[in-house]
Amino acid sequence: MNEINFKHRLNGYQNSSCGLFDAVNAMSGRATAILIMIQSDFVIDDERLCDEIILNALEAVACEINDIKEIVNQYHQHVRKVANNG
C-alpha cells in the first residue's frame, strides 16, 4: 500500500508531510477547543456542566489525541517503507 488514507479525519487530505501537518493541526485544534470550553466551566461562576457532559468531552479529547498518535505513526511507517523500497 503506497497511499495512506486520512480523509476520515480531514477533507481533502493530501498524502504528504504538509497534509499530515494540516490533519494534526485540525485535530489538535478540536481537542484544544473542547478543553477551553471545559476550562471556562470552572472559571465562570454560572450554571455548571453535568459530570456526564464533562466526561464525554474529556473522552472526545482523549480520542483526538489517540487519533493524532495513530495518524503520525501510520505516516512514519509509510515513509520508512517507501525509504526501504526506494
pLDDT per 10-residue tile (average), the chain, 86 residues = 59 72 89 93 84 95 91 87 84
- Integer CA distances (angstroms), 31 to 9, 17, 19, 83, in order: 13, 21, 18, 32
Q: Considering the domain boundaries, does residue 3 fall inside one?
A: no
Q: Considering the domain boundaries, does residue 4 fall inside one?
A: no
Domain interval for residue 51: 17-85
Question: pTM to 2 decimals?
Answer: 0.77
- Looking at the structure of the chain, the number of domains it has is 1
Q: Considering the domain boundaries, does residue 55 fall inside one?
A: yes
Q: Considering the domain boundaries, does residue 7 fall inside one?
A: no
Q: Considering the domain boundaries, does residue 39 fall inside one?
A: yes
Q: Considering the domain boundaries, does residue 11 fall inside one?
A: no
38 in Cβ contact with 57 (< 8 Å): yes
